[in-house]
Amino acid sequence: MTNKSQNLPAYMVVTAAYWAFMLTDGALRILVLLHFHILGFSPIQLAYLFVLYEIAGIVTNLTAGWVAARFGLVLTLNAGLFLQIIALLGLSQLNAEWGITTSVIYAMCIQGLSGIAKDLTKMSSKSAVKLLAPDENSSLFKWVAVLTGAKNAIKGLGCLIGAASLGLFGFVPSVLGLAAMLTAVLASTILRMPKGLPSGIKGTRFAEVFSTSPQVNRLSVARIFLIGARDVWFVVGVPIYFYTALSDGTDASDRIAFFSIGAFMAFWTILYGAVQAKAPALFKSKHQGTPFFVSKAEGWVRVLIIPLVIVTLFSVLMTNPSSILSAILVAGLFAFGAVFAINSSLHSFLILAFTTGQRVTMDVGFYYMANATGRLVGTLLSGISYQIGGLSLCLATATVMLILSWIATKRLEQTLTL
C-alpha cells in the first residue's frame, strides 16, 4: 500500500455523498417514468423526458473535467448535490392541469438540471478514486468495484423506494422527501470534508479535455454502445411492457404494477451492483497488467450477447404480454444484468488505468461524456423502437448495439498489441 491509504477519510466522505445522490437518482427516474405514464404520455414522449437529462450529461462531463482540474473536485461534488436538490424542488412544482406540451418541456428542463447534477457528482467521485486509491492495479480495481458496485445496488434500492413512495404518498411528497434527505447530505459534506482532494491547477486549458489517447478514445466508443444496449430496453421498453402486462387501468392494479416494476428495476440494479462489487474476485488480478483486463473485457462482452439474443427470440415468437414471456424476460435480463456488471466494472477500472493523475478529471470526464452519449442514444431508441415495434424491436436494437460494443473492444485490444 502507498501513502494514499491515508486518504481513506476523504474517500469515505466522497463515497457516502455519491451513494446518497444515486439513491435519489434511482428514485427520481422511476417516479418520473411512472407518474408521466399515468398522465397519458406515449413511449416516445416518455423518452423525451430524459433526452435533455442525457444531453446535459454529455456537455457536463466535457466541462466538469476541466472545472475540476481548474478549481478542484470538492467544488464539483458539492455543486452536483446542490443542483439535484434544486431539480427535486422544481419537480414538486409540476401542475396536473398543465397541457402535455407544457409538462414535457418543463419536465425536460428539470431533468436536464438533474443530468448536470448527476454527472458532476459521478465525475468527482470516480476521479477521487484514482487520486486517493493505492497505486497497484489490483487495489485500484477493488476500490473502483466497491464504489460503483455499491452505488448501483443503492440506485436499485432508490428505484424500489421511488415506486413504493409513489404508490403510498404520491409524486410531490416523494420528491420533497428526497430533497430533504439530500440537503442533509450536502450540509454534512460541506462541514466534514477532510483534506486529501486536490484544489485545482491554475492555467489548465479547456482544449485539454479532449483525449489524444487511442486507448481512452476506443474504450469510450465501446462504452457508448455498451450503455446504449442496456438503456434501449431499460428506460422505456421493459417498464412499459410490464405496466401493460400487469395493469388494467384501475387504481388497485396500478399500485400492483408500480410495486412490480419498481421491484424488478430495483432488484435488477441491486444484482448488477452486487456482481460489480465482487468482480475483482472473478479474476486473479494481482500483478496483472492492463492488457489482461482489456482481454477480459473483450471476452465478457461476447458472453453478454447470449442472454439478450435469447430473450429477443422469445419476444419475437410470443408477441403478446403473457406470464410465460414475463418470466423468460425476468430470467434473461437478470442473467444479462450479472454479465453486464462484469463488463461495466472492467470498463470503470480501465478508464482509470489508462489515465494519469494529472489528466484524471479530464479523461474521466471525456469517458463519461461517452457514457452519457450512450444513455442518450439508448433512451431515444428505447422510446422509438418500442413505439414502432414493441418489446421485440427494443431487444433486437440492444443486441445490435452490443455487437458494435464488442467490435470496438476488439479494436481497443489491438492498440495494446501494436
Whether 193 has a pLDDT exceeding 80, the answer reads no
Whether 250 has a pLDDT exceeding 90, the answer reads no
Q: What angle do CA 103, 107, 109 make, to 5 degrees?
A: 125
With contact defined as beta carbons under 8 Å apart, do 212 and 362 qualify?
no
Least confident interval from 98-102, 210-214, 373-377, 389-393: 210-214
Nearest to 153 by CA among 329, 361, 345: 345
Helices (H) and strands (E) in the chain, counts: 12, 0
Least confident interval from 72-86, 192-206, 336-350, 357-371: 192-206
State how far the Cα of 370 lies from the Cα of 220, in Å rounded to an integer: 5
Least confident interval from 60-69, 73-82, 343-352: 60-69
Would you state the pLDDT for residue 404?
96
Whether 270 has a pLDDT exceeding 90, the answer reads no
Q: What phi, psi does 261 have (nearest 5°)?
A: -65, -45
Mean pLDDT is highest, among 3-7, 49-53, 336-340, 373-377, for 336-340
Whether 201 has a pLDDT exceeding 70, the answer reads no
Average pLDDT for residues 17-27, to the nearest whole number?
87
Q: Provide the sign of the torsion angle of the four alpha carbons 122, 124, 127, 129, taken in this order.
A: negative
Q: What pLDDT band is residue 179 in, cutting at 50, 70 and 90? A: very high
Q: How many CA atoms lie within 13 A of 409 on its CB side?
A: 28
Report the chain's mean pLDDT, rounded to a whole number: 82
Name which residue leads in pLDDT, 365 or 390: 390
State how far the Cα of 318 lies from the Cα of 22, in Å rounded to an integer: 35
**Who contacts 166 (Cβ-Cβ below 8 Å, separation ≥6)?**
30, 31, 34, 35, 174, 258
Average pLDDT for residues 107-116, to the nearest whole number?
87
Least confident interval from 210-224, 273-287, 314-328, 380-394: 273-287
- Residue 255 buriedness (CB in 10 A; 0-12 / 13-18 / 19+): middle
Whether 5 has a pLDDT exceeding 60, the answer reads no
Radius of gyration of the chain (CA): 20
Helix, strand, coil percentages, rounded to 5, for the chain: 85, 0, 15
With contact defined as beta carbons under 8 Å apart, do 391 and 241 qualify?
yes
Amino acid, single-letter form, for residue 100: I
Residue 284 DSSP SS3? coil
CATH of 3-191+210-415, picked from 3.40.50.10300, 3.40.50.1820, 1.20.1250.20, 3.40.1160.10, is 1.20.1250.20
With contact defined as beta carbons under 8 Å apart, do 363 and 327 qualify?
no
Would you state the pLDDT for residue 398?
95
Average pLDDT for residues 134-144, to the nearest whole number?
63
pLDDT in tens, 347-368: 988 887 887 666 676 777 788 8
Q: Grid coordinates in use for 339?
A: 454479465
Q: What pLDDT band is residue 210 in, cutting at 50, 70 and 90? A: low
- Residue 72 buriedness (CB in 10 A; 0-12 / 13-18 / 19+): middle
Would you state the pLDDT for residue 418?
52
Which residue is listed with cell 442525457?
54
Would you state the pLDDT for residue 3?
47
With contact defined as beta carbons under 8 Å apart, do 35 and 166 qualify?
yes
Nearest to 1 by CA among 126, 136, 127: 136
Whether 203 has a pLDDT exceeding 80, the answer reads no
Q: What pLDDT band is residue 417 in, cutting at 50, 70 and 90? A: low
Average pLDDT for residues 281-295, to the nearest whole number?
75
Q: What pLDDT band is residue 2 in, cutting at 50, 70 and 90? A: very low
State how far the Cα of 313 lies from the Cα of 173, in Å rounded to an integer: 42
